[in-house]
């Protein structure tokens, strides 16, 4: 850890400590031995590639799906619950890439059981998980370890490391050199550390809840859809504040009716370099209603708040955006009078179907 990292004190909750450990978790992954077999797997002519998981682990696969689909691969991103409901999607020549921090979420275990006993055709299974003893790691034809270490509650280190493992998968499919990917992950670790050291969002979080009828939403397009959905999920879990995540245009199809004073919209992946102006137009239109708009990136829109920097790499934008979401979640929890990241009803591993 460098001098920039805030000092850990006993006042921090386990969730906050996990948030601060993310740069080192990324470095541990970058320095770990490369998984033999991934490059060879990526070269095989799969009939279908299916990315699955639950919650934030599933969202981490969204950018991979977009890149594979863009490259002409028949690829799906479908959560494991829906995959169990549509087993016909899996064919014997499919590659199923399942991401699960615990490797033991109920839907993942059920999927493994059905693949194992023939209720679902025996496809090739890649398991991305932090626990080498988990059902997913032991059932997978190829186990890709997260190297994210223990995690107390809500996903933090495991989400960022899942994004980084997916970056390695993308690199295998696109034929990039592993050293370049490793360097990229190390650079992202540094930029996550800078983000943690320099970002202050307590005032913004307090303002967002300072209405008798507050509403919160997140929006992200393309790969930043992953961040918008991640932010929506972990904010609910960590702060008990109702917030919904939306993918791009989804926000205009109904949720816009919540616009006006008291609505705060966090827009992830808001970059000046983006030739698609839909995010800028959405921010403009929301500001005009009296809503509060927080842009995560370097895009500036009159009347909105911009937090962040230009995107140095796709993984960098995803990782720093996710860290911003975690910092908002912590401050929203404090403003809401709850312990950041403490589960009220759920638990770290959801096993019930």
Ligand X SMILES: N[C@@H]1[C@@H](O)[C@H](O)[C@@H](COP(=O)(O)O)O[C@@H]1O
Binding site for ligand X (CB under 6 A): 53-57, 100-102, 105, 108, 154-155, 237, 346, 349-350
Q: State the pairing for strand pair 94-99/124-129.
A: parallel
* Nearest approach, Cβ of residue 351 and ligand X (Å): 9
Q: Do residues 70 and 99 touch, judged by C-beta distance below 8 A?
A: no
Query: Cβ closer to ligand X: 105 or 235?
Result: 105
Question: How big is the chain by its Cα radius of gyration, in Å?
Answer: 20
Q: Which is nearer to ligand X, 36 or 352 (CB)?
A: 352
Task: Say how far apart CA 194 and CA 279 lie, in whole Å.
Answer: 26
State the minimum distance, in angstroms, from the CB of residue 14 to ligand X. Answer: 14
Residue nearer to ligand X on the CB measure, 338 or 349: 349
Looking at the Cβ atoms of 42 and 234, the one nearer to ligand X is 234
Q: Give me the least distance between CB of 100 and ligand X, in Å please.
A: 3
Structure tokens at 94: 């499919």
Give whichever of 64 and 292 is closer to ligand X, judged by the CB atom. Answer: 64
- Integer CA distances (angstroms), 133 to 54, 110, 143, in order: 19, 17, 11
If phi over 0 gives left and psi between -120 and 50 gives alpha, with beta otherwise, what is residue 13?
Answer: beta
Q: Residue with CB nearest ligand X?
A: 55
Question: Cβ 99 to ligand X, closest distance in Å?
Answer: 7
In whole angstroms, how close is the CB of 186 to ligand X at the nearest point? 24
Angle at which helices 62-70 and 157-174 cross, to 10°:
10
C-alpha span between 353 and 289 (Å, rounded): 41
Residue 314 vs 341, nearer CB to ligand X: 341
User: To the nearest 10°, the Cα dihedral for 61, 66, 70, 75?
Assistant: 50
Instruction: Please report how close the Cβ of residue 103 comes to ligand X at its closest, in angstroms.
Output: 7
């Amino acid at each position: 850890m460098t001098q920039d990292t805030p000092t850990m004190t006993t006042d921090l909750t386990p969730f906050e400590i996990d948030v601060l450990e993310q740069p080192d978790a990324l470095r541990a992954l970058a320095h770990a031995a490369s998984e033999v077999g991934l490059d060879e797997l990526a070269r095989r002519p799969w009939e279908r590639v299916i990315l699955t998981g639950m919650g934030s682990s599933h969202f981490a696969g969204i950018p991979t799906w977009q890149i594979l689909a863009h490259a002409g691969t028949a690829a799906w991103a479908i959560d494991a619950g829906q995959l169990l409901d549509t087993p016909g999607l899996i064919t014997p020549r499919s590659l199923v890439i399942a991401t699960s921090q615990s490797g033991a979420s109920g839907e993942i275990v059920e999927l493994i059981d059905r693949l194992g006993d023939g209720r679902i055709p025996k496809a090739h299974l890649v398991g991305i998980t932090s626990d080498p003893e988990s059902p997913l790691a032991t059932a997978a034809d190829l186990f890709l370890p997260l190297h994210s270490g223990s995690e107390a509650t809500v996903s933090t280190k495991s989400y960022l490391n899942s994004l980084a493992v997916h970056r390695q998968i993308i690199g295998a499919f696109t034929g990039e050199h592993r050293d370049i990917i490793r360097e990229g992950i190390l650079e992202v670790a540094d930029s996550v550390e800078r983000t943690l050291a320099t970002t202050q969002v307590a005032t913004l979080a307090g303002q967002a809840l300072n209405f008798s009828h507050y509403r919160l939403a997140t929006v992200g397009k393309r790969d930043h859809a992953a961040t918008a959905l991640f932010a929506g999920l972990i904010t609910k879990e960590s702060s008990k504040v109702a917030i919904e995540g939306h993918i791009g245009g989804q926000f205009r199809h109904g949720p816009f009716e919540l616009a006006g004073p008291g609505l705060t919209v966090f827009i992830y992946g808001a970059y000046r370099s983006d030739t698609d102006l839909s995010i800028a137009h959405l921010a403009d239109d929301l500001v005009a209603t009296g809503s509060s708009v927080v842009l995560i990136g370097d895009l500036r829109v009159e009347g909105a708040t911009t937090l962040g920097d230009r995107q140095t790499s796709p993984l960098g934008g995803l990782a720093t955006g996710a860290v911003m979401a975690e910092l908002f979640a912590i401050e929203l929890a404090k403003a809401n009078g709850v312990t950041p990241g403490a589960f009220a009803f759920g638990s770290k591993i959801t096993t019930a179907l």
